[in-house]
Structures are given as structure tokens and as C-alpha cells.
Amino acid sequence: NQTLPVLTFRCRGQLFGVSVIDVKEVTLEPTYTPIAHMPSEVLGYVNIRGQILLALCLGTMMQLPETGH
């Protein structure tokens, strides 16, 4: 009997999970720098220990309804 460890999280009131094998790091609400003229799902970029990463809104990308949270 095998079990798969997962990281669970909520996005706009819905529960999601991903295999911990695919998770490199968890960062809660990093400060991001907005980028002009980008689609609504692009929040901006974040600097994580010198590495520049694109911040995306999962809820917008998946067209989930707003929950007010």
C-alpha cells in the first residue's frame, strides 16, 4: 500500500494538492513588482534570493470565481 505525500493549499475557496516531489519551496505572500501591460493573470515578478521569478495568479489562470478572501 503506497501513499503519495502532497502539499495542499486553498485558492479562492477550493482545495488543491500537488505532489511534494514537485514542490521546491513554499513562500507565503512574497512582495512582487508589477509589470506594465501584462495579462491579468500576471501579478509581476519576485526576487527570491537573487533569482527573478514570474508571479502568476492561479485563480485567474483557472478562471475560478472570486470569493472575497
* Tens-digit pLDDT profile for residues 21-45: 999 989 888 899 999 999 999 999 9
Q: What is the pLDDT of residue 29?
A: 82
Query: Is the pLDDT confidence value at 69 over 70?
Result: no
Q: What is the DSSP letter of 50?
A: T
Whole-prediction pTM? 0.76
Q: Where are the beta strands (DSSP E) in the chain?
A: 6-11, 14-19, 42-48, 51-56
Q: Give every CB contact of residue 26 below 8 A, 6+ residues apart in sequence.
A: 7
Of residues 22 and 1, the one with the higher pLDDT is: 22
Q: Are 7 and 17 in contact (CB under 8 A)?
A: yes
Report how far residue 17's alpha carbon sits from residue 20's, in angstroms, rounded to the nearest whole number. Answer: 9
Q: What is the pLDDT of residue 7?
A: 96
What mean pLDDT comes out for the span 6-28? Answer: 93
